[in-house]
């Protein structure tokens, strides 16, 4: 596969966008990415989206959005892998451009979640779980993660307060990201006193839903003209799966798909965890941050919370995470999230992350998860 | 892109499968394809599906089905392009294998449509149309096609009875396909007397919904051992789009995306319409057969019905279509249809089409459509 690079990025704020439809949000992010790419042409459009058919009664987004953005007729399709849809669409585009079949591909992740009744959105999100064996029993998505967190605390002897640094770090970083959904600095006390959602997950353990879109343009790496900015190449990419139902796994406290996905991406890129300068991980719930760090080789099994308590996840730490706010504070418009992560990684590698800029990063990693650890897609990007 | 070939095919009958869930249907088709491929390994799974989130409350099909079929952990995703989802998944898999990133990819198209209330299925199908400008006005999918057919008859002076050969041909061919939904030979009289659905589309102009799954396995063409069967290579592939809303097109009677998609596929394959030995087209409604034949260069504009009246579309004709029953009589489980077309084309090219075998075909074409001409994906396959 020929080497592929990211030439343009764009995003909308994550928010309750009452005045904008799904295609308008997608268009806004795409036009920003095209402006950033400075006039590249586009041959194909890959859309990451999970809920549009259920919540907006609209499928066929490929043709709809390509027409809306003024590129009528181009090849276009939607890719769905639950909350991992954004990275799945990115990986499909990567292979399309990498194969030589497509000269340039736009990827847009887009989701509109706040217009529906909250119960409808919760039910729609539950389609990421196993309909026969999880959702049918009344388990919502937060409830599944609560069971995992409860078990983790029991097995490894951690207390709820030990997870506080993940949320505090995400909120602190989001303060400097104008596209983030939440701009509220939170304290340890706020975290401890937050309203309970599904014990032990409280409001500050959970990422907020939102409306938003993020877009990138992919081209062959050798086609990029030097334009004064760092060239961002995709040097690692892998997607792996696990059972959808958490109870079917031998070990519900180990993200096997994350381990395999990260390992393949490391191999692909010829790097190891020590080479990763920052990690945009999938912190849908604080327990997922912990499990991701362990599975990807940044902490020993059962020791993930230690990274938070020791300050290793901050911008100045050993492995900065959620540097632009993460799912927790930038927000989690599900099918868009994987593309937001890529956009934010490019910002870091270009040195455009302002007050949350990691010091001179060369290699960044993103990881997007569909379901409770069922579909896990890792990308490694490199500047220069 | 390296050359890719189809090494295994499998399918379930299209039917009302009350006793089988979506994943069971997918599994049945996949296991048949793997048996046909005689022990090839599988690295990735691409799923064509449109309605599972809405009708079965189940997304994340990639992880769900890979686990179910006994390949837990492999890369997997769903691709959606309305009723063109099957071919869109096939094309994504083609590029993944073509790029060298993936060594072998399963494609399964699967849909389960008959378990829901008919009104729910009709509403779900309308998500392929423009939610703001078509569905919101009460237009169902058959109603949109009825407007197009009405206009076509008015503009070019055809009568409803002139479309009869398309349905009669499809039903006649399906009589010999054990996987077809309908095994009823129909006459001109049956066609003329059929119950009206949306004037001028009657029951025998419209394809039936159904449950079903079809699967193929793709590998690099140079990896195939001679095994006594013809090798089937994918020599042309293209996906193009048009506006979702039919009223937005300059000419609602011309499938511009079909013309562009077929033209690109012809170029890719180095062939012209005269070289195509049979054409599995998207006959969701008889008007769509006519428009597809015209746009792909088999008939002049406004003259499509002539091919039916002159017997050119039969197995012995100039351009045999719907040789295994087509959408009209094999059935149209929407996200699966594009993969059924590929399976049937492979049967023809291998010489396994029994009583509806086209005489010594070398090159076959398939075309799958999402929406009323919005997303159109063409593939050209070659034996040997």
- CA-to-CA dists, residue B229 to B36, B234, B353, B366, B381, angstroms: 11, 16, 14, 21, 15
The band of B230, judged by pLDDT with boundaries at 50, 70 and 90, is confident
Catalytic residue among A83, A171, A282, A296: A83
Phi, psi of B164 (to 5 degrees): -55, -40
- Residue B188 structure tokens: 């001109």
B319-348 mean pLDDT:
98
Question: Is the separation of the CB atoms in A218 and A93 below 8 Å?
Answer: yes
* Structure confidence by residue, pLDDT tens digits, A115-141: 899 999 999 999 999 999 999 998 999
Q: Do A73 and B127 touch (CB under 8 A)?
A: no
Q: Do B77 and A81 touch (CB under 8 A)?
A: yes
Q: How far is the C-alpha of B189 from the C-alpha of A290, rounded, in Å?
A: 69
Nearest to B243 among A67, A100, A124 (CB): A67
* Structure confidence by residue, pLDDT tens digits, B99-140: 999 999 999 999 999 989 999 999 999 999 999 999 999 899
More confident residue, A256 or A38: A256
Residue B40 has pLDDT above 90, yes or no: no
Let me know if A296 is a catalytic residue. Answer: no
Let me know if B379 is a catalytic residue. Answer: no
Residues facing A16 on adjacent strands: none
pLDDT of residue B226: 59
Neighbours of A337 (CB within 10 A): 33
Spell out the alpha helix ranges (H) of A126-201. Answer: 141-156, 164-174, 188-193
Nearest CA in chain A to B77: A81
pLDDT of residue B228: 67
Nearest CA in chain A to B241: A73
Sign of torsion, CA A135 A62 B216 B121? positive
Taking CB atoms and an 8 Å cutoff, what residues of chain A touch B135? Answer: 57
More confident residue, B12 or A225: B12
* Structure confidence by residue, pLDDT tens digits, A28-85: 999 999 999 987 799 999 999 999 999 999 999 999 999 999 998 999 999 999 999 9
Q: How far is the C-alpha of B264 from the C-alpha of A58, rounded, in Å?
A: 28
Chain B nearest CA to A159, separation (Å) = 32
User: Beta B375-383 vs B232-241: how paired, if at all?
Assistant: antiparallel
- Residue A50 structure tokens: 């999970």
pLDDT of residue A329: 98
Phi, psi of B60 (to 5 degrees): 60, 35
- CA-to-CA dists, residue B338 to B91, B119, B267, B331, B377, angstroms: 10, 24, 21, 12, 9
B252-269 mean pLDDT:
98
Interchain CB contacts (distance < 8 Å): A and B: 217
Q: Do B60 and A260 touch (CB under 8 A)?
A: no
Q: Do A60 and B370 touch (CB under 8 A)?
A: yes
Chain B nearest CA to A362, separation (Å) = 24
Question: Is the separation of the CB atoms in A254 and A297 below 8 Å?
Answer: no
* Structure confidence by residue, pLDDT tens digits, B163-173: 999 999 999 99
Catalytic residue among A263, A282, A332, A379: A332
DSSP conformation class of B252: T
Longest dimension (CA), chain B: 57
- Residue of A20, A75, A122 to mutate when probing chain B, most B C-beta within 10 A: A75
Q: Which has the closest alpha carbon to B120: A57, A129, A124? A: A57
- Residue B67 structure tokens: 């686990």
Sequence-ordered list of residues with C-beta below 8 angstroms from that of B198, at least 6 positions apart, any chain: B140, B142, B143, B145, B146
Neighbours of A287 (CB within 10 A): 27
Q: Do A67 and B248 touch (CB under 8 A)?
A: yes
A186-210 mean pLDDT:
98
Q: How far is the C-alpha of A11 from the C-alpha of A14, rounded, in Å?
A: 9
Q: How far is the C-alpha of B119 from the C-alpha of B121, rounded, in Å?
A: 5
Taking CB atoms and an 8 Å cutoff, what residues of chain A touch B123? Answer: 57
- CA-to-CA dists, residue B173 to B281, B282, B355, angstroms: 14, 15, 8
Angle between helices B22-37 and B61-68 (to 10 degrees): 60
pLDDT of residue A132: 92
The size of chain B, in residues, is: 384
Taking CB atoms and an 8 Å cutoff, what residues of chain A touch B77? Answer: 79-81, 88, 91-92, 239, 375
DSSP conformation class of A15: B
Nearest to A260 among B73, B132, B260 (CB): B73
Taking CB atoms and an 8 Å cutoff, what residues of chain B touch A244? Answer: 60, 63-64, 67
Chain B nearest CA to A12, separation (Å) = 22
Nearest CA in chain A to B23: A132
Neighbours of A268 (CB within 10 A): 18
Q: How far is the C-alpha of A14 from the C-alpha of B90, rounded, in Å?
A: 33
Q: Do A98 and B102 touch (CB under 8 A)?
A: no
Q: What percent of chain A has a predicted confidence (pLDDT) above 70? A: 99
Nearest CA in chain B to A54: B54
- Residue B250 structure tokens: 């300059």
- Residue A201 structure tokens: 């997950």
pLDDT of residue B227: 63
Q: Which has the closest alpha carbon to A353: A277, A299, A298, A292? A: A277
Nearest to B242 among A63, A238, A257 (CB): A63
- Residue A63 structure tokens: 């043709």
Taking CB atoms and an 8 Å cutoff, what residues of chain B touch A27? Answer: none
Chain A nearest CA to B88, separation (Å) = 7
Phi, psi of A60 (to 5 degrees): 60, 35
Taking CB atoms and an 8 Å cutoff, what residues of chain A touch B50? Answer: 53, 59
Residue at token pair 């993200």: A255
Query: In the predicted model, what is the mean pLDDT of chain A?
Result: 96
Q: Do B80 and A59 touch (CB under 8 A)?
A: yes
Chain A nearest CA to B303, separation (Å) = 25
Neighbours of B33 (CB within 10 A): 27
pLDDT of residue B384: 81
Residue A25 has pLDDT above 80, yes or no: yes
For A150, what's the count of Cα atoms within 13 Å in the CB-facing half-sphere?
11
Nearest CA in chain B to A55: B54
pLDDT of residue B276: 98
């Amino acid at each position: 596969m020929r080497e592929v690079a990211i030439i343009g990025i764009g995003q909308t704020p994550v928010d309750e966008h009452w005045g904008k439809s799904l295609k308008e949000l997608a268009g806004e992010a795409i036009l920003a990415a095209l402006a950033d790419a400075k006039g590249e042409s586009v041959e194909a459009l890959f859309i990451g989206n999970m809920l549009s058919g259920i919540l907006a009664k609209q499928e066929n987004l490929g043709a709809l959005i390509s027409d809306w953005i003024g590129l009528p007729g181009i090849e276009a399709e939607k890719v769905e892998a639950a909350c991992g849809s954004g990275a799945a669409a990115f990986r499909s585009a990567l292979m399309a451009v990498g194969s030589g079949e497509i000269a340039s591909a736009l990827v847009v992740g887009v989701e509109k979640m706040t217009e529906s009744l909250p119960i409808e959105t919760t039910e729609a999100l539950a389609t990421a779980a196993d309909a026969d064996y999880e959702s049918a029993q009344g388990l919502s998505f937060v409830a599944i993660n609560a069971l995992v967190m409860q078990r983790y605390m029991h097995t490894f002897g951690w207390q709820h307060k030990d997870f506080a640094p993940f949320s505090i770090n995400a909120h602190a970083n989001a303060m400097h990201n104008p596209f983030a959904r939440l701009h509220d600095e939170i304290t340890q006390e706020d975290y401890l006193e937050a309203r309970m959602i599904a014990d032990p997950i409280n409001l500050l353990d959970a990422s907020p839903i939102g409306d938003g879109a993020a877009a990138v343009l992919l081209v062959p790496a050798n086609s990029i003209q030097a334009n004064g900015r760092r060239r961002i190449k995709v040097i690692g990419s892998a997607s792996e799966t696990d059972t959808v139902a958490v109870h079917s796994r031998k070990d519900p406290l180990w993200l096997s798909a994350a381990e395999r996905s990260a390992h393949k991406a490391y191999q692909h890129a010829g790097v190891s965890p020590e080479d990763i300068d920052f990690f945009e991980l999938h912190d849908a719930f604080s327990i997922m941050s912990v499990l991701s760090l362990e599975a990807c080789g940044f902490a020993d099994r059962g020791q993930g919370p230690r990274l938070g308590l020791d300050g290793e996840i901050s911008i100045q730490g050993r492995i900065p995470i959620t540097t632009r706010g993460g799912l927790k504070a930038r927000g989690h418009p599900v099918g868009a999230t994987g593309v937001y992560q890529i956009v934010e990684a490019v910002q870091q590698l270009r040195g455009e992350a302002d007050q949350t800029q990691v010091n001179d990063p060369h290699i960044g990693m993103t990881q997007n998860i569909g379901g409770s650890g069922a579909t896990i897609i890792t990308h490694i990007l490199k500047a220069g």
